[in-house]
């Protein structure tokens, strides 16, 4: 794909945001939600995921590598825009700006989150389970850091899904795009609720 490199990168960026990254995010939030039932329920769900065959391979192919590309190219996209909300304060222009802002916030959050729950685990052998999360989230600062991170990530996914449908030419008419706005709003609400509920369950 020597020609149309930019087109290829953009489309790849859009695709990876949903498959696999978006799917992984949903899966992750569903697993976390077991924390609201009981610590054991969460530990069991987490262990099930941990014991999937070829876990490290899956993590790299389905999470780290796509995420790295999505992040690096996404930062580039974010910084080529010049936001103009003051002059053009339309709804979609707000979403455009927030998509870029939440992308950056999510990136910062994920770097920290991966360090804390994966690298520290690999280096110091800290065990990854309910108690570990409970310890982290004991601090009020970390709790709110996680809240912001989770809301940003879910927003970025839900609104990114909206763009995905437009970018691939699935929703063409203004009407279908509007219906999709409501559908993705629903996704945002449901997964934000699940994420926050899990955080509260870990912390309190």
Partner 1 sequence: MAEDHKTIRMIVQRQDEPEAQPYEEEFEIPYRKNMNVISALMEIRRNPVNAKGEQTTPVYWDMGCLEEVCGACSMVINGKAMQSCTALIDQLEQPVRLEPMKTFPVMRDLAVDRSRMFDSLKKVKAWVPIDGTYDLGEGPRMPESKRQWAYELSKCMTCGVCLEACPNVNSNSDFIGPAALSQVRLFNSHPTGSYHKAERMDALLDDGGLQNCGNSQNCVQACPKGIPLTTSIAALNREATLHSFKSFFGSDYHH
**Interface positions with partner 1 (CB under 8 A):** 3-7, 10-11, 77, 79-84, 86-88, 90, 92-93, 95-97, 99, 162-163, 166-174, 177
Q: How far apart are CA 149 and CA 105, in angstroms?
A: 7
CB of 62 to partner 1, least distance (A): 23
Q: How far is the CB of 173 from partner 1 (least distance, A)?
A: 6
Query: In 3D, which of 159, 128, 136 has the Cα closest to residue 55?
Result: 128
**What is the rounded CA–CA span in Å between residue 70 and residue 103?**
10
Q: Of 98 and 200, which has the nearer Cβ to partner 1? A: 98
C-beta closer to partner 1: residue 52 or 170: 170
Helix ranges, 89-173 (H)? 91-114, 120-124, 130-138, 140-167
Least CB distance to partner 1 at residue 120 (A): 36
d(CA 165, CA 82): 23
Comparison of 109 and 162: residue with beta carbon closer to partner 1: 162
Residue number with CB closer to partner 1 (152 or 201): 152
Judge contact between 24 and 62, C-beta under 8 A.
Answer: yes
C-alpha 83/C-alpha 96 separation (Å) is 8
- Looking at the Cβ atoms of 42 and 165, the one nearer to partner 1 is 165
| Greatest pairwise CA separation for the chain in angstroms | 54
């Amino acid at each position: 794909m020597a020609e149309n490199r930019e087109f290829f990168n953009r489309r790849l960026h859009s695709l990876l945001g949903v498959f696999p990254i978006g799917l992984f995010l949903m899966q992750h939030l569903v697993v976390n939600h077991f924390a609201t039932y009981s610590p054991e329920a969460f530990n069991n769900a987490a262990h099930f995921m941990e014991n999937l065959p070829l876990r490290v391979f899956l993590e790299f192919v389905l999470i780290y590598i796509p995420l790295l590309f999505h992040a690096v190219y996404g930062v580039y996209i974010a910084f080529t825009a010049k936001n103009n909300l003051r002059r053009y304060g339309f709804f979609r222009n707000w979403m455009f700006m927030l998509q870029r802002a939440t992308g950056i916030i999510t990136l910062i959050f994920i770097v920290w989150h991966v360090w804390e729950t994966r690298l520290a685990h690999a280096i110091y052998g800290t065990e990854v389970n309910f108690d570990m999360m409970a310890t982290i989230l004991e601090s009020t600062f970390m709790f709110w850091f996680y809240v912001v991170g989770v809301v940003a990530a879910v927003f970025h996914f839900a609104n990114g899904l909206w763009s995905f449908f437009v970018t691939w030419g699935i929703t063409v008419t203004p009407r279908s795009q509007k219906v999709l706005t409501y559908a993705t709003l629903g996704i945002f609400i449901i997964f934000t609720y699940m994420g926050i509920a899990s955080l509260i369950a870990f912390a309190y």
